[in-house]
Amino acid sequence: METLMAVISWMGAQASSFWNNITAVLIYLLLLALLLDYVMFRRKSSRLPPGPTPLPFFGNLLQLDFWRPVNTVQQLTKRYGMLFLAQAGWTNLVVLNGFKVMKEALGKKTEDFIERPSVPLLCLAGYTENCQGLVLAGCSTGWKEQRKFVLSTLKTFGMGKKTLEMMVSKEAEHLCSELKSQGGAPFIPHDLVNSAVGNITCTLILGSRFEYSDEKIHTLLHLTEDLLQTLTKNITQMVAARSWFSYIPGPHLKIREVYNDITAIFKEILNEHKKTRDPAFARDMTDAYLEEMEKAKGTPESSFNEQNVLKIIFELFVTGTTTTSSTILWGLLEMVLNPEVQKRVQEEIEKVHGRDKPLMMKDLPDLPYTNAVLYEIQRYADIVPIPLPYITHRDVEVGKFVIPKKYQLKPAEICYLAFFLHH
């Protein structure tokens, strides 16, 4: 019995010293984290714009009205003025408010605000240095050369010209004949409209289209929607901001698989281009890119490489297709919901243009009502309510303040507009 008591008492002493040690270690770690937070994330210059004091780890997130974030921005604007700083977790934000501040910052100092923040999540899809694609590439990772190439090549292959209009017109014929083949029965236009728009993007960048019965275009479009849904989930947004989140399990890890499935289809087309291309005559953007890759051989730091062309094809497909087809689907919905508008548009087109000729851009000035309806659909649909993220490229002076390098930009007016349109 005595021995048992002695063992229990020894165990009690060990447990108490164990808990004491654990508490000491936890306090030590907390102090270290607070110190790290203070050294790395507190603001230091006297010319910084004002802003609410951030808490360690959370920044100003606890002050945010999650249901009506616009309210928080309005309150902070009243308190700190048209230009203020805030912190979301450890991400530094600069909020710009009002025409004057926006014009000075974005209109006159555009070059200082063009940098993109790094998005660690993209490493799941193989985004690495010199292989950053187009949309989220940073200034030092091929931003300039890739944008310059894509813009000039897309113009060569028809963007903004009659050639593109002819492509659109041809695809519209295919779409209309599919719509007619439904024989007036109810149907869901989503897949057909998506395929038609996807085909225009593919013709522009890959030089060919898919038949509507081809499973590949449906797979591409469904995977793209799947990917966008995963990317816009809250957990994914959190992961996007911090590299170490990528190592925890969760739905965001699906990105790798979906991205690989999408690019497998594009890779097949790219390989076909490699086999059949004539270096003296580029048939489309992909041929032109392969030529740039040839020129960049022996320059390992060049951003013209095979992984990057797959990313650029993928990004153009996603940005070009989802935006345009959503706009058209919104248009169809509005026509169904507002039959009197639909009737007026139809009457105007038939009166000015007749029933059978395809409409072209040059006809728009003769169709003021139709033109106004198209603008209203675009305004109302508000397809991209939140702008892509930008950060300051270097320290930049706006009014009497200096916004430090790498602060993420939040143009408040765009957030207000998006919020009020959707609520």
List of residues contacting ligand HEM (CB under 6 A): 134-135, 201, 316, 319-320, 323-324, 327, 383-384, 387-388
Report the nearest approach of ligand HEM to the CB of residue 278 (Å). Answer: 25
Q: Rounded to the nearest whole angstrom, what is the least distance from the CB of residue 253 to ligand HEM in the complex? A: 26
DSSP classification of residue 304: -
How far apart (Å, rounded) are the C-alpha atoms in residues 135 and 320?
Answer: 12
Q: Please state the closest distance from residue 388 (CB atom) to ligand HEM, in A.
A: 4
Please check whether residue 91 is in contact with residue 243, taking contact to mean a CB–CB distance below 8 angstroms: no
Q: Which is nearer to ligand HEM, 144 or 351 (CB)?
A: 144
Measured CA to CA, the distance from residue 43 to residue 38 in angstroms comes to: 9
- Residue closer to ligand HEM, measured from CB, 271 or 323: 323
- Of the candidates 192, 168, 166, the one whose C-alpha atom is nearest the C-alpha of residue 178 is 192
- Rank residues 34 and 151 by Cβ distance to ligand HEM and give the closer one: 151
Q: Is the dihedral of CA 344, 350, 356, 360 positive or negative?
A: negative
Strand-pair partners of 411: 96
Which DSSP category does 57 fall into? T
Residue with Cβ nearer ligand HEM (351 or 379):
379
Strands 83-88 and 91-96: antiparallel
To the nearest whole angstrom, how small is the minimum distance from the Cβ of residue 119 to ligand HEM? 13
CB of 50: closest distance to ligand HEM in angstroms?
Answer: 26
Identify which of 202, 230, 231 has the alpha carbon closest to the alpha carbon of residue 216.
Answer: 202
Instruction: Compute the least distance from the CB of residue 265 to ligand HEM, in Å.
Output: 18
Q: Report the residue number whose CB is nearest to ligand HEM.
A: 320
Closest to ligand HEM by CB, 20 or 323: 323
| Interatomic CA distance for residues 352 and 20, integer angstroms | 87
Chain-centroid distance, C-alpha 194:
19
Compare residues 86 and 313 and give the one whose CB is closer to ligand HEM: 313
Three-class SS state of 55: strand
Q: Using the 8-state DSSP alphabet, how is residue 53 labeled?
A: P
Nearer to ligand HEM, 154 or 403 (CB): 154
Q: Nearest distance from residue 150's CB to ligand HEM, in Å?
A: 7
Q: Which residues touch 335 (CB under 8 Å, ≥6 apart)?
A: 341, 342, 345
